[in-house]
């Protein structure tokens, strides 16, 4: 049975049987924060639904992706759609329901981690109220649909303390691309696991990014390529303190609930000055996605 089911009446995802998640969470915690540094949850959504979501993006919304390339490493790049959950932009409701439930599951797993505990203590949040914690995280966290096409990849790296990656797979290595993809390495740079080879469409992969060296080796033989929905925890301070969104240059957004009146006034004044005489701090989430309707219940 999949972790998430599609409800036809609302065209949204919901947990199949939330009470049965505890043993899965314990198993994932053991693998993720143990020697592996990663864990695969099989059949998080049905493979058929994952395939239909993939087609929704690559067939119906190909022009919604923004291509980002590193000026130093030609293979370090991908095509992406970034969703900031608090943005004023229209977003596919079905995808947002999946992202929210992935985030809640990720918080269940992360609740044993010291960073999560410190975060909840700092903001006086109930660690077991995953919805409340997520509502606060949404001020400084985004999600991304990533499409790695021919020669796309990411350099070897570890990420910042407090980050935790959840990746919902929409494609399969050996079918949608031939070589390359997500690998993890030991401290000497030796490959220790080919994570893409372990995952099928519909599987969810959790990766302890700050602890494990990882990279996306250049994709070879893309047809159409590697497609995932990336749902990270983005720690506070990773994105700028305030910003605006494309199409809404006068509306200031902050990366926290904890903003004083004086700071709000200063940001609004600074933003107005930049609008008139320079350029403002536009968040990478974009207005012009041009999403078509996605209704998988039909």
DSSP per residue over the chain, as a string? --SEEEETTTTEEEES-GGGHHHHHHHHHHHHSSSSSEEEETTSS-HHHHHHHHHHHHTT-GGG-EEEE-SS-TTBEEEEEEEETTSSS---HHHHHHHHHHHHHHHHHHTTSHHHHHHHHHHT--TT-HHHHHHHHTTT-EEEEEEE-TT-BEEEE---TT-EEEEEE-S-BTTTBSEEEEEEE-TTS-EEEEHHHH--TT-EEEE-TTTSEEEEEEEES-SS-EEEEEEEE--TTSS-SEEEETTEEEEEEES-S---HHHHHHHHHHHHHHHHHS---B-SS-S---PPP--TT-
- pLDDT, tens digit, for every residue of 97-133? 999 999 999 999 999 999 999 999 999 999 999 999 9
Angle at which helix 93-110 crosses helix 21-32, to 10 degrees, equals: 70
pLDDT at res. 188 = 85
pLDDT reported for residue 262: 96
Greatest alpha-carbon pair distance for the chain in Å reads 57
In angstroms, rounded to a whole number, what is the distance separating the alpha carbons of residues 127 and 112? 9
Could you name the CATH architecture of 4-233?
Answer: Sandwich (2.60)
Q: What pLDDT shows up at residue 75?
A: 66
Q: Which residue, chain included where needed, has tokens 């903003």?
A: 259
pLDDT recorded at residue 206: 98
pLDDT for the residue 64: 87
Supply the pLDDT for residue 74. Answer: 61
**Neighbouring C-beta atoms of residue 197, cutoff 10 Å:** 12
What was the pLDDT predicted at 297?
59
Per the structure block, which two tokens stand in for 134?
A: 């997520």
pLDDT of residue 175: 97
Q: Pick out the chain residues at pLDDT < 50.
A: none
- Give residue limits of the domains in the chain: 4-233, 242-277
- pLDDT in the model for residue 18: 66
Say what the pTM is.
Answer: 0.93
pLDDT at 95: 93
From 259, 13, 285, 280, select the one nearest 142 (Cα to Cα). Answer: 285
Q: What is the pLDDT of residue 298?
A: 55
């Amino acid at each position: 049975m999949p972790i998430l089911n599609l409800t036809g009446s609302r065209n949204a995802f919901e947990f199949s049987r939330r009470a049965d998640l505890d043993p899965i969470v314990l198993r994932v915690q053991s693998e993720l924060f143990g020697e592996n540094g990663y864990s695969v949850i099989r059949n998080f959504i049905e493979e058929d639904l994952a395939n239909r979501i993939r087609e929704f993006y690559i067939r119906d919304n190909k022009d919604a992706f923004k291509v980002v390339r590193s000026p130093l490493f030609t293979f370090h790049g991908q095509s992406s759609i970034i969703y900031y959950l608090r943005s004023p932009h229209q977003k596919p409701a079905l995808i947002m329901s999946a992202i929210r439930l992935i985030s809640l599951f990720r918080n269940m797993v992360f609740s044993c981690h010291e960073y999560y505990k410190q975060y909840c203590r700092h903001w006086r949040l109930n660690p077991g109220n995953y919805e409340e914690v997520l509502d606060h995280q949404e001020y400084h966290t985004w999600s991304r649909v990533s499409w790695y096409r021919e020669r796309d990849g990411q350099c070897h790296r570890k990420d910042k303390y407090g980050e935790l990656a959840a990746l919902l797979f929409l494609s399969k290595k050996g079918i949608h691309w031939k070589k390359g993809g997500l690998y993890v390495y030991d401290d000497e740079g030796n490959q220790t696991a080919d994570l893409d080879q372990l995952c099928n469409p519909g599987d969810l992969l959790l990766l302890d990014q700050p602890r494990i060296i990882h990279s996306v080796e250049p994709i070879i033989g893309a047809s159409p390529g590697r497609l995932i929905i990336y749902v990270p925890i983005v720690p506070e301070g990773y994105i700028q303190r305030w910003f605006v969104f494309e199409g809404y240059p006068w509306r200031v957004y902050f990366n926290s609930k904890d903003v004083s009146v004086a700071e709000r006034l200063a940001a609004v004044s600074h933003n107005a000055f930049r609008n008139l005489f320079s350029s403002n701090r536009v968040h990478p989430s974009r207005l012009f996605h041009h999403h078509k309707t996605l209704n998988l219940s039909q």
